[in-house]
Amino acid sequence: MGEDLGKVKKQIEELRDKIRYHNHLYYVLDNPEISDYKYDNLMNQLIDLEAKHQELITPDSPTRRVGAQPIAAFGTITHTIPMLSLNNSYSIEELRTFDLRVRRSLSLDEVQYISELKIDGLAVSLIYEGGQFVRGATRGDGFVGEDVTHNLRTIRSIPLRLSGEFSHLDLEVRGEVYMSLKDFQRLNEEKVSVGEEPFANPRNAAAGSLRQLDPRITANRRLNIFLYGIAYVRGKEFSTHWEELEFLRKAGFVVNPESKLSSDIKDVISFCEHWGDMRDRLPYEIDGIVVKVDSLVQQERLGFTAKGPRWAIAYKFPPKQVKTRVKDIIIQVGRTGALTPLALLEPVEVAGSIVSKATLHNEDYIKEKNIRIGDMVIIQKAGDIIPEVVKVLKDERQGNEDPFKMPDICPVCGGEVSRSDGEATKRCLNISCAARLKESLIHFASRDAMDIEGLGPATANQLIDAGLIHDAGDLYHLNEEMLLKLERMGDKSVENLLKAIEESKGRDFSRLLIGLGIRHVGKEGAQLLARHFKSIETLKSATFEELKKIHEIGDVIANSIVSFFKEERNLYLIQKLKEVGVKMGIEDSTELSTKELPFEDKVFVLTGKLETLTRGEAQKRIEELGGKVSSNVSKKTDFVVVGEEPGLKYDRALELGVTILKEPKFLELLDKPIEKKAVRLSFSTLLE
């Protein structure tokens, strides 16, 4: 009996190896001779055997790719190293500027670049522990993504287990999940044949497939992946990006074969131009070229900005352009009173979606492009998302097109409109303008502000039109009876909305500040103010001079804050909010969200005298940012901050190889929110 089992085990192992080899040929070597039929055949044999001998099923068996049950919802995964996005460039000229900046910063005449095709899919991160694929996540906002492990397992080009010398490794790699044009067409034909809406483009199809709760659906969608980067490989060091790509290939991942190493920007540019012409011949869609500095040492020296690495840039191909007609131009009034002209267009399809509107920004923009109502225009999607009018086809004018004139009064309230010096926008000055109130309310409830779920533009409109509320303060006096009268408001939505409103009372102080809508005070500014003033009372009584003392706050912002608190209407609103129990200050130290805690769980030791801060202040700042200060250097210490005349702790830090921060660098980390993300990055790398 035992012998039989051994035999079956061997048989199963053989089948698994054959299937893996098949996958390798199909995906890695892209061999067209490989048939799906043979794959299915092998898989079926394996499934049968495993069904009979369930004790022999291992987590890396190819059958496990499809075995998972549907899940109820996606979990989230915090990336150990953030998945930052890249700066974009839309012209060859910008590539040259990029090159100049890189070489100037490095003080080098020559820099090696790697150019890679930019696959139009969605970025994911794959985590392996002990050579096993254990978790995978989408990019999300770069810091926290969705756990899509169950769906990634169905992608046959993702090895469930690394083989040979890699079989024990812990690593995290980054790649782009995409759907080939062939599979995209096949999928859409299928969808249409069963009466469903087809996907607009392969990227949407890939994204939609990866976000399926049921992995069996994903498995049928034939997703694919190219790996292009390494977050870390425990115990391994690389010196160039090219080496990283080589490693990925050897470890069994699929790396795009078209990457190219160049020793000057001219070569990079011709690579971009070449693929700009040839992109249609590829079996998958690309939307540009990613250019990276090859040397990792140089990458580190260049560092990051808030937007992304300074050592890489994405060259985007010119977007698809489409012709349509401007049916009309209307005016929208924003919460700050800004009058924004909006072109209503004859609906057309552009890059996978139907476009019927495009912003015209302001009157100068219209004048400069000479846009008239009735004109035929060329439109495109900037960054593949936001429609914009590129130019007017003047040759096609019939003579009956109307020039557009910005109104001299507010189209909503009829109030006075003005355009102050140097400003591009005209604004309605009436602080009680219905449009402004409405927009302010929407802003108050929005995600970055008080985050009241269920209170979007539509509901806000209903509430105001029904006369139920006049400002944000009234929200907190709504009750069931009032809401049930509204259209499309059932028991459930009323209950949810009231609950959401109630919950918003306890939102962080900074969110309230965003919600109030003080001009020039957004997310960052509000957090800055909340940290400095701690309560609405202290902020209200702050003088222009006090405000200006704060780093990042200049004349304009200080002025705007002071005048906000002089306005009767605003004081009244604050009063009302306070009365109903909305939180008006920082009450405890938990207010800083994880995003602002770049020093979380990091242990600092201070030694020597600092020039700009006292010990106490430095300690306070570190703790505010989530770090701990300890008095002795040990293996657990992450950073030693060194001032003038450092003591023995400095020697001990050198001994233990703890990272040493001199004062200027330390201050930079404390002060510059931008650098914080980069700090997180180096933390994680240091942990390895």
Q: Which DSSP category does 27 fall into?
A: I
Among 522, 586, 596, 619, binds DNA (CB under 7 A): 522
One residue of 305, 493, 535, 684 binding DNA per CB under 7 A: 305
Q: Are 251 and 166 in contact (CB under 8 A)?
A: yes
Residue 14 in the binding site for DNA (CB under 7 A): no
Q: x/- binding map, residues 238-277, to DNA, per CB under 7 A?
A: ----------------------------------------
Q: Are 323 and 377 in contact (CB under 8 A)?
A: yes
Looking only at residues 181 through 210 of this chain, which bind DNA when binding is defined by CB under 7 A? 200, 204
Site string for DNA, 341-360 (x = CB under 7 A): -x----------xxxxxxx-
Q: Total binding residues for DNA by CB under 7 A?
A: 55
Identify whether the C-beta of residue 134 lies closer than 8 Å to the C-beta of residue 127: yes
Give the integer Cα–Cα distance in Å for 16 and 669.
Answer: 50
Of 172 and 375, nearer to DNA (C-beta) is 375
| Rounded least distance, CB 200 to DNA, Å | 6
| CA dist., res. 532 & res. 539, Å (int) | 9
**Smallest gap, in angstroms, from Cβ of residue 350 to DNA?**
8
Q: Which is nearer to DNA, 171 or 442 (CB)?
A: 442
**Chain-centroid distance, C-alpha 665:** 27
From 472, 317, 469, select the one nearest 381 (Cα to Cα). 317
Decide: is 472 part of the binding site for DNA (CB under 7 A): no
Q: Per-residue x/- mask for DNA, residues 306 to 325, rule CB under 7 A?
A: xx------------------
Contact range with DNA by CB under 7 A, out of 278-286, 379-387, 591-599, 622-630 = 379-387
* Per-residue DSSP letter, 320: P
DSSP assigned state of 620: H
DSSP symbol at 401: P
* 419 lies in the site for DNA, by CB under 7 A: no
Beta carbon nearer to DNA, 46 or 428:
428
Residue 628 near residue 603 (C-beta atoms within 8 A): yes
Residue choice 8, 57, 296, 382 for contact with DNA (CB under 7 A): 382
Contact status: 365 vs DNA (CB under 7 A): yes
What is the residue whose two structure tokens read 């923009």?
365
By CB under 7 A, residue 139 contacts DNA:
no
User: Which of residues 1 and 385 has its CB atom nearest to DNA in the complex?
Assistant: 385
Q: Which residue has the tokens 């914009």?
A: 388
Residue 123: CB minimum distance to DNA, A:
12
Using alpha carbons, select from 337, 383, 385, 388 the residue that is nearest to residue 361.
Answer: 388
Q: Which residues between 619 and 648 bind DNA (CB under 7 A)?
A: none
Q: Give residues 523-582 in contact with DNA (rule: CB under 7 A).
A: 523-526, 551-558
Which of these ranges, 45-53, 404-412, 419-427, 496-504, lies near DNA under the rule CB under 7 A? 419-427
Q: Which stretch binds DNA (CB under 7 A): 47-55, 331-339, 394-402, 588-596?
A: 331-339
Nearer to DNA, 523 or 620 (CB): 523
CB 230 within 8 A of CB 173: yes
Query: 131 or 525: whose CB is closer to DNA?
Result: 525
Strand order in the sheet with 132-138: 132-138, 122-129, 171-178, 224-233
For 591, how many CA atoms within 13 A lie in the half-sphere containing its CB? 22
Minimum distance from CB of 127 to DNA (Å)? 25
Q: Which is nearer to DNA, 45 or 356 (CB)?
A: 356
Is residue 670 within the footprint of DNA (CB under 7 A)?
Answer: no
CA 317 to CA 94: how far, in whole Å? 13
Interface residue with DNA, options 338, 482, 580, 660 (CB under 7 A): 338
Q: By CB under 7 A, which span of 107-115, 283-291, 514-522, 611-619 interacts with DNA? A: 514-522
Provide the annotated active-site residues. Answer: 118
Q: What angle do CA 483, 488, 492 make, to 5 degrees?
A: 65
Count other Cβ atoms within 10 Å, centred on residue 160: 21
What is the signed CA dihedral for 488, 494, 498, 499, rounded to 10 degrees?
-120
DSSP alpha helix (H) spans, 411-486: 434-445, 457-465, 480-484
CB closer to DNA, 579 vs 668: 668
d(CA 547, CA 532): 9
Rounded to a whole number of angstroms, the minimum distance from the CB of residue 207 to DNA is 10
In the complex, least distance from residue 570 CB atom to DNA, rounded to whole angstroms = 14
- By beta-carbon proximity to DNA, the closer residue of 38 and 357 is 357
Q: How far is the CB of 396 from DNA (least distance, A)?
A: 22
With tokens 């009058």, the residue in question is: 339
Interacting span for DNA (CB under 7 A) from 164-172, 361-369, 389-397, 500-508: 361-369
Q: Are 363 and 406 in contact (CB under 8 A)?
A: yes
Is 99 a binding residue for DNA by CB under 7 A? The answer is: no
Quick one: 549 exposed, middle or buried, by C-beta within 10 A (0-12, 13-18, 19+)?
Answer: exposed
18 touches 42 (CB < 8 A): yes
Alpha-carbon span 655 to 632, nearest angstrom: 13
Can you tell me which of 409, 424, 571, 687 binds DNA, judged by CB under 7 A?
A: 424
Q: Is 88 in the site for DNA (CB under 7 A)?
A: yes
396, 423, 587, 651: residue in contact with DNA (rule CB under 7 A): 423
Secondary structure tally for the chain: helices H, strands E: 26, 26
Give dist(CA 485, CA 483) in Å, integer.
5
Least separation, in Å, of the C-beta of 595 and DNA? 12
**Contact call for residues 371 and 377 (beta carbons, < 8 A):** yes
Name the pairing type of β-strands 376-382 and 353-359: unpaired
Dihedral over Cα of 184, 189, 194, 195: its sign: positive
Find the helix or strand (DSSP H, E) in which 363 lies. helix 363-369
CB 545 → DNA: shortest distance, Å? 13
In the complex, least distance from residue 345 CB atom to DNA, rounded to whole angstroms? 7
Given 59, 75, 383, 664, the residue binding DNA (CB under 7 A): 383
- The reply to whether 521 sits near DNA by the rule CB under 7 A is yes
Stretch that binds DNA, among 85-93, 220-228, 394-402, 589-597 (CB under 7 A): 85-93
Length of the chain: 688
What one-character DSSP code corresponds to residue 461? H
Among 361, 531, 534, 652, binds DNA (CB under 7 A): 361
With CB under 7 A as the contact rule, the residue among 11, 340, 462, 619 that binds DNA is 340
Q: How far apart are the first and last CA of the chain?
A: 47
**Residues from 45 through 84 that contact DNA (CB under 7 A):** none
Interface with DNA by CB under 7 A: which residues?
85, 88, 90, 200, 204, 305-307, 332, 334-336, 338, 340, 342, 353-359, 361, 364-365, 382-387, 422-425, 439, 517, 519-526, 551-558, 673-674
